[in-house]
Amino acid sequence: MEHDGEEIGHAGDGFFVAFAAVDSALDCAISIQRDLLWHRREHGFAPQDRIGVHLAESANDAEGYSDMGVHHAARKGGIANGDEILVSEKTIQAAASPRKFTGARNVTLKGIAEPGPVVTLCR
């Protein structure tokens, strides 16, 4: 992959990709949005994407990734609006290079007891 991610799985039209570096994950999310926007302009159609990014320590065992970090990222993508990259605040803070973001807010994610801060990453 261009951004050093590892495709771990997919369900329907969704993908789960793991990255060793926060900046790689954020750059990949922005690249996906830009590519779809370009396709929409050039060809008149591209699906709207909803992307969730969450920083978490994870272990990859024989059954794959299955810890809470996976659920956090998936739930963020699930509540994102069309063409939105919804990122946990701690992910933005861990990025090596500064990022533009908007819409800081607390959200409650399905199956996760405590609300958490998220932002919308600007492309």
Quick one: which of 102, 98, 96, 95 has its CA closest to 122?
Answer: 102
Residue percentage of the chain with pLDDT more than 70: 93
pLDDT of res. 62:
65
Instruction: Indicate the fold that domain 5-121 takes in CATH.
Output: Alpha-Beta Plaits (3.30.70)
> How confident is the model over 47-101, as pLDDT tens digits?
889 999 999 887 677 666 767 888 889 899 999 999 999 999 999 999 999 999 9
Mean pLDDT of 94-112: 92
pTM: 0.88
Cα-Cα end-to-end distance for the chain: 20
